[in-house]
């Protein structure tokens, strides 16, 4: 079974931790729009693709995840290296040694015996931009925000996101993996800054559309202030369609348990019709109920594959059919 996970940030690394427990061949396709923190500094000073999300994915797929997570995620607290993660510096050094960022990721993954492959969505240095609504001035006034780290800090409703430059070439290895996949998983993660930027790479979006894999969008379990405050499951799905086009996935996998202490911040269904089949499962981390539990998410996706027979992309089972399986 070949699984391709598309996204970035914490959500992608949690997903990979859950999928690693299976026997599937895993490929992670990672956004390259990050411009904040250690990644942003290395990007600006060395011209490096932002390494942070790649570091987290490597840690998630490493053979000894607990130890390597601590090593790769370790951040220096003071001096000129303050706030730099060790894994970011390792990737920066390997980029110089191997001659390319993709080779740096490959070699670090090989050293740590990771269970899968990690690829960028594009090798182009892209900037994530957003049009946000300035409701303080007028409901129709739109302000442009440039930079992934600034999009979620605007405190305004996001109308759309786009990349500069507008048509970066897709990484060929990522396209090939998507076209070979049996299952494509989009998300979870920051909708506008980690998930959608991958689909704004034209070649990658076209590959997803062309793939005959089963395609699932994993919806976030909680609202994200600055990006998706108050969004329902349906609103998440609609935002993907509005920004990247229709028909990119067939199913939405979402959490169905909403603890009382975080109920107001949970992403829940509205009950309005969608063009995607909604699949509900217990996905929440009991200790951190605003996040997915890696084991639950990985298990739910594997059960989902068992419940849904392989079929051409245009054939979709209904929400009612899936509900007959107790929401997996």
Percent of the chain with pLDDT over 90: 75
Q: Are 198 and 175 in contact (CB under 8 A)?
A: no
| Six token digits for residue 11 | 């959500």
* Structural domains for the chain: 1-30+122-328 (3.40.50.10680), 33-120 (no CATH)
Peptide bond into 161 cis (omega under 30): no
pLDDT digits (tens, 9 = 90+) for 250-290: 999 999 999 998 999 999 999 888 889 999 999 999 999 99
Separation of alpha carbons 60 and 13, rounded Å: 6
252 by DSSP, 3-state: which? Answer: strand
Q: Are 188 and 194 in contact (CB under 8 A)?
A: no
Separation of alpha carbons 214 and 178, rounded Å: 11
pLDDT digits (tens, 9 = 90+) for 286-324: 999 999 999 999 999 999 888 876 544 333 333 333 333
Question: From the CA atom positions of the chain, what is the Rg in Å?
Answer: 19
Give the predicted TM-score (pTM) of the model: 0.91
Residues 6+ away with beta carbon under 8 Å from 284:
221, 255, 257, 259, 291, 292, 293, 296
Average pLDDT, the chain: 90
Burial group, residue 123, by CB count within 10 angstroms (0-12, 13-18, 19+): middle
277 by DSSP, 3-state: which? Answer: strand
């Amino acid at each position: 079974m070949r699984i391709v996970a598309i996204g970035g940030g914490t959500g992608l690394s949690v997903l990979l931790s859950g999928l690693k427990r299976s026997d599937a061949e895993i490929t992670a396709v990672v956004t390259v729009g990050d411009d904040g923190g250690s990644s942003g500094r290395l990007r600006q000073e060395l011209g490096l693709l932002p390494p942070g999300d790649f570091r987290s994915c490597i840690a998630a797929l490493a053979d000894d995840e607990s130890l390597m997570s601590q090593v790769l995620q370790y951040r220096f607290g003071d001096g000129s290296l303050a706030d730099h993660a060790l894994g970011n510096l390792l990737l920066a050094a390997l980029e110089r040694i191997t001659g390319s960022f993709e080779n740096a990721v490959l070699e670090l993954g090989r050293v740590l015996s990771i269970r899968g492959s990690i690829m960028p969505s594009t090798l182009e240095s892209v900037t994530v931009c957003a049009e946000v609504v300035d409701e303080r001035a007028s409901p129709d006034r739109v302000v442009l925000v440039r930079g992934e780290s600034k999009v979620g800090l605007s405190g305004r409703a996001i109308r759309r996101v786009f990349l500069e430059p507008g048509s970066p070439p897709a990484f060929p290895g990522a396209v090939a993996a998507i076209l070979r996949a049996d299952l494509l998983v989009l998300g979870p993660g920051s909708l506008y800054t980690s998930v959608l930027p991958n689909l704004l790479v034209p070649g990658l979006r076209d590959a997803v559309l062309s793939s005959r894999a089963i395609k699932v969008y994993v919806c976030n379990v909680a609202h994200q202030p600055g990006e998706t405050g108050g969004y329902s499951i349906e609103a998440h799905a609609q935002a993907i369609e509005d920004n990247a086009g229709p028909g990119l996935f067939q199913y939405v996998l979402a959490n169905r348990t909403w603890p009382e202490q975080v109920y107001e911040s949970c992403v829940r269904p509205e009950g309005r019709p969608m063009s995607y089949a909604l699949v509900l499962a217990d996905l929440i981390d009991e200790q951190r109920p605003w996040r997915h539990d890696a084991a639950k998410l990985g298990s739910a996706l594997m059960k989902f594959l068992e419940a849904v027979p392989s079929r051409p992309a245009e054939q979709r089972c209904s929400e009612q059919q899936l509900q007959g399986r107790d929401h997996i």
